[in-house]
Structure 1
């Protein structure tokens, strides 16, 4: 039981929000050398800056 969903009177709160799901996760490592053309945002080759990751992001990707 998730205790964060218990109301003061002891009943459970019914959450109506759905968890967001993303098709792809973009990674950033500011210590990464190279240009963004050499990186695709994967865990193996993360973007060197948050700006480059943000430019590549869209509604189905999270940074």
Structure 2
């Protein structure tokens, strides 16, 4: 489950990785967590991809 502190951490690390030329990728993000992310600005500024499963990643 992605709570507020986890979302804050993701939002903090994503631009730092991007500035370093790296991308943050997520996988196995389930429905409720994805719905929570979609309600925020996080995915609009996300540097990487969201994969359905680890095989696709």
What range describes the TM-score normalised by the shorter chain of this pair?
under 0.3
The one of the two structures with greater contact order (alpha-carbon pairs below 8 A, sep at least 6) is 2
Give the structure-1-normalised TM-score.
0.22
Give the structure-2-normalised TM-score.
0.23
Structure with higher helix content: 2
